[in-house]
């Protein structure tokens, strides 16, 4: 009777919707000893992956019986009940009914973990599908808008540049025309980013040295950053294998990461750019001492048009474009961030061709 009551109690704990996994495990181990011959001396313990839940202290059990936790044919832990000291007069301190109960409890716990992890995987897959569908829709919209904008934008830019070459253009008109040209060039860059995001611009793959790409990007941005009081540090590993990649698109990735790092630093700060070889991958890391990001921002940082900047200070495309380019190159990009301390973006690209490039270390 005790065994049936215990099994029922465990079943109720497992189906209780308000409990976390850890709370369930703790309640189960506190329930199990009651069904044993010597409940006051018995200690129950569940080991699951790297977690241990026990009904009493962590002293070793001199006599114990256990049943394995098996989740999708993979051993994940153990349910045990035992005694920290040998009971007098008991050759075998465990009844057959107790061993059977333990096997049933282990089976129930294993099924619960299987269901829970299956539900988590389904939820993650559904979110990934929704995200992919959203990106596909935005990509189609972005491509359409970019193509529609290209023709009138080219006309505006061309006529403004032509008008500037005319003789006797009034000074104020010339200033206005230069503003039109500058705005048109900025708009053209946004169109390029839209096409990159929508992957309407296929990569032109060839042998490419990542250190050289980093040097070119730093040449473009370091002077402006240093005027803001930002220190740039290079830690480029020499003799990196060459990549099969589009150097223009990779340069865009590095520039976008550097711009993002620069904008994250409000006053004086430091940006470190590092490369290294990690097995069959070349790794690029861009770290800053800026404001960092909250967990909520981290979840959305690669989403298109997502920005925490003020209106007019960013399109929200820089990091999503970088993400799209790296994925198209068969690589990965991820970010680590601590609010108030800074962020670190890490890009990994597969080595696809044999060769070496130059690198250097220093500010």
| pLDDT tens-digit map of 55-74 | 876 677 777 889 999 998 89
pLDDT confidence of residue 362: 47
Residues 344, 218 share a domain = yes
Q: How large is the average pLDDT for residues 30-48?
A: 90
Residues 175, 228 share a domain = no
Q: How large is the average pLDDT for residues 128-139?
A: 60
pLDDT at 360 over 50: no
The count of other CB atoms within 10 Å of the CB of residue 32 is 26
Q: End of a domain among 122, 148, 183? A: 122
Type and span of the H or E element at 29: helix 21-31
pLDDT confidence of residue 309: 58
Residues 328, 241 share a domain = yes
User: What's the CATH code of the domain at 172?
Assistant: 1.10.287.130
Model confidence band, residue 235 (pLDDT cutoffs 50, 70, 90) = very high
Q: How large is the average pLDDT for residues 12-40?
A: 91
SS3 238: coil
pLDDT confidence of residue 75: 93
Contact 289, 342 (CB under 8 A): yes
Mean pLDDT lowest among 19-23, 108-112, 269-273, 314-318: 314-318
Reported in sequence order, the residue ranges of the chain that DSSP labels E, i.e. its strands, are 43-48, 51-54, 63-71, 74-83, 206-208, 230-236, 243-245, 269-278, 281-288, 332-338, 342-350, 361-362
Q: Which residues sit opposite 295 in a β-bridge?
A: none
User: What's the CATH code of the domain at 107?
Assistant: 3.30.450.40
Percentage of residues of the chain with pLDDT beyond 70: 82
Q: End of a domain among 81, 104, 122? A: 122
Residues 223, 112 share a domain = no
pLDDT at 312 over 50: no
DSSP at 242:
P
Mean pLDDT score across all residues of the chain: 83
Residues 26, 114 share a domain = yes
Domain with 308 in it: 206-362
Number of compact structural domains in the chain: 3
Residues 213, 192 share a domain = no
The count of other CB atoms within 10 Å of the CB of residue 242 is 19
Residues 115, 234 share a domain = no
């Amino acid at each position: 009777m005790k065994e049936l009551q215990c099994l029922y109690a465990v079943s109720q704990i497992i189906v209780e919707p308000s409990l976390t996994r850890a709370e369930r495990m703790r309640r189960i181990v506190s329930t199990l000893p009651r069904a044993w011959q010597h409940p006051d001396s018995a200690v129950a313990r569940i080991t699951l992956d790297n977690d241990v839940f026990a009904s009493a202290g962590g002293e070793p059990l001199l006599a114990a019986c256990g049943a394995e936790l098996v989740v999708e044919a993979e051993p994940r832990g153990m349910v045990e009940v035992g005694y920290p000291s040998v009971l007098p007069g008991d050759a075998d301190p465990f009844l057959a009914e107790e061993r059977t109960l333990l096997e049933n409890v282990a089976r129930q716990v294993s099924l619960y973990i299987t269901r829970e992890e299956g539900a988590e995987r389904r939820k993650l897959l559904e979110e990934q599908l929704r995200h992919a569908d959203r990106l596909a829709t935005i990509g189609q919209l972005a491509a359409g808008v970019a193509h529609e904008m290209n023709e009138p934008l080219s006309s505006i830019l061309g006529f403004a540049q032509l008008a500037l070459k005319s003789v006797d253009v009034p000074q104020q008109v010339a200033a206005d025309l230069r503003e039109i040209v500058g705005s048109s060039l900025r708009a053209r860059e946004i169109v390029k980013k839209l096409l990159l995001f929508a992957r309407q611009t296929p990569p032109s793959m060839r042998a490419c040295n990542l250190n050289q790409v980093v040097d070119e990007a730093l040449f473009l941005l370091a002077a402006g950053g240093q005027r803001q009081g930002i220190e740039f540090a290079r830690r480029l590993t020499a003799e990196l294998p060459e990549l099969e990649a589009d150097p223009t698109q990779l340069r865009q990735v590095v520039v976008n990461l550097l711009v993002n790092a620069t904008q994250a630093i409000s006053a004086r700060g430091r940006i470190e750019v590092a490369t290294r070889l990690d097995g069959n991958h070349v790794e690029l890391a861009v770290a800053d001492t800026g404001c960092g990001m909250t967990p909520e921002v981290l979840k959305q940082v690669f989403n298109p048009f997502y920005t925490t900047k003020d209106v007019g200070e960013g399109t929200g495309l820089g990091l999503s474009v970088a993400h799209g380019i790296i994925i198209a190159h068969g690589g990965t990009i991820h970010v680590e961030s601590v609010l108030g301390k800074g962020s670190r973006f890490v890009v990994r690209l597969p080595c696809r061709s044999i060769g070496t490039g130059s690198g250097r270390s220093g500010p």
